Structure 1
Amino acid sequence: MKLKSLTIAIALAATSASAFAAEKTEGFYIGVFGDYYDASWKNLNMHQNLEVNESASWGAEVGYRFSDYWSARLEYADMDFNAFLKNPIPNGNRNDVDGERFGVDALYHFGGGPFYGLFGIKEVKVATDNTFLNAGVGYQHFITDGLFVNAETSVYQGLDRGYTDVNAKLGINYLFGQSSVAEEPVQPAPEPVIVEVAPVDSDNDNIPDADDQCPNTPMTDAVDGTGCTLYEDKEVTVSLLVTFPNNTSAVSTQYLNDIDKVAEFLKEYPDTTVLLEGHTSSVGKASYNKWLSKKRADAVAKKLVADGVAEDRITTVGLGEERLKNEANTKAAHEENRRVEAHIKTIKNVKVLR
């Protein structure tokens, strides 16, 4: 018997059977089996010229099912090995050698279903004794409440001489103490009557009251998925431009309203500061213009302080003629360059409107 053919037969037996749905209770079982054992043993003790190969065998087993998940069994197999004796015949001599195998296995049934894993210890006697640890997988199919077939394959690892063998097995067994319980037909549950109730939205923001974490949101506000007002960051700015006559730092009354607006902005946003930049035209000495531009910035700063802005929030700098707005050498250009400028901006969190 070839291993490939037996493996195909085991696969067909496992896949052609339908699953047996009943749960398995505790009980003893007995069975018989046939198997194929693939060995490759050379130079056995007391038989230095003897090589042992595959075996076709039959056997019997007795076991106990402890639960849906665990069972154990004792196994005996009568084995018939193919052997090869090198000497004294020059070309060797092939013959059959009788053997036997016995041992114990523990089986774990995955999820209580048909597939299981196994591990055990076996003694194989052929010409000499060899002890093996074995592990493998298998499949059970219940034909009736107690009668079932099984197919499995295992790897054997020798403890005495390090042999590694393979075994494939097909058996039939009977588990005592099982009985089918007729299942009552399952009556379909009556379909529930669903009564749709429109969700209540008291503040008309399209978020039902049951999910609304911010009730009574103003109608003008856009809201998020929890019914709360949406906000967005928006940049707000204010600018100041004060011009001066030639060679003076006095602030004209016409700019007082503009300075007041800057003061109010600074009060509304207390984290902001202001930089006042003083400038001159290109007429005159650069060093004098530097001094005059700083004096102009300081004059505007005094107006802001008078409006209630703290001095430590105001910085002044005199740039003289370093940054001309108009580089032409004309009266209009000079008037445009004589100035104090400020630009203040900040981020404001504002509501999003619907």
Structure 2
Amino acid sequence: MKFTRSGFAIGVAGLMFGVSAAANQEWPESFGYLGIQGSYYDIETGRDSIGDVHNYWQPAVNLGYRFNPRFSIQLQYGEAETEARNLDIDVDAKLATITGRLHFPEWAFGGFQPYAGAGYGRNELEPDGLRTKREDMYVGELGLQRLLGSHFMLDLGVRGLLEDDDRFFDSQPYIALNWLFGKRYAEAAPAPAPEPAPRREEPMWIDSDNDGVPDHLDQCPNTPAGALVDDVGCHLTLEETVSITLHVEFDHDSTTVKRSFLPQIGEVAEVLVQYPDAEVLLEGHTDSTGPASYNQNLSVSRADAVMRVLISEFGIGPERIRTSGMGESQPIADNNTAAGRAQNRRVEAVVEASREQIQRR
């Protein structure tokens, strides 16, 4: 079967439009990646009998690192087999490249981020029974990248290769699937400081805690602001029970806490700050995929992951957090559907506390 550049382009376009427009993915600030690439190497004709070979498909492996949203570097190595155009011999083609890439996240469209790259390439053609032909090449790239979930990245592009010696120009459209590792996300900007409260005029008599009772009659100084007080300035109290429920969902076979759930975890942390004697119980759950014993351990790991967020992100003491794993024993949705399994992959937390709570005006 003969493959052409137009056939490759049609396949790439089909994959682009076939990728579902999933929820917007948050790009990491920096990450490494390892992947595989398929490409169609279109070699310029008119070379010597060794270098003048048929076009060919070439698989390759990628290793790269994105240092920040703007710059990355990639190493690549690929091998393929082809034939000489004018000689009846087989030729092994090997290509290694290193490129630096400049990314343009502000121009992203449809989830795809464009980039341009430049670098160096080394191409070797090894014909049967003849000496190897080695070519130094200047490399240029134009491409698009898109996240597929939180662990994979699709890379589509075209590479131009200019031979250093005799200035022949080859082209190489490609598609790659890369697995991401070592992801780091940008820290959220701190909230702006609240504006200072306007100064109130001091009355003829002094009320230091602003509870409406002058100091010379106040038997309970330093009453918290906004508290209801009796005639002698002491606050009124009531018994209050506080209960807040947290629900954090996870990807399949994952213990990574998504940053989209940080505000909900922060609400639990806020209650723990308001009630210093309170404790929280974190219960991890899984769907029914996989062995029950594996799911039991996975559920404990998910609860521990939320615990680490409460400790590192919100400063909650570890002695106030308990974790347990429920495995797949307590589903809240149908495990026979993808949506139901997504709901079952979760961590639930319940905070229960009782204390004397000051009544507010």
TM interval, short-chain normalised: 0.3 to 0.5
Q: TM-score, normalized by length of structure 1?
A: 0.46
Q: TM-score, normalized by length of structure 2?
A: 0.45
* Greater C-alpha radius of gyration: 1
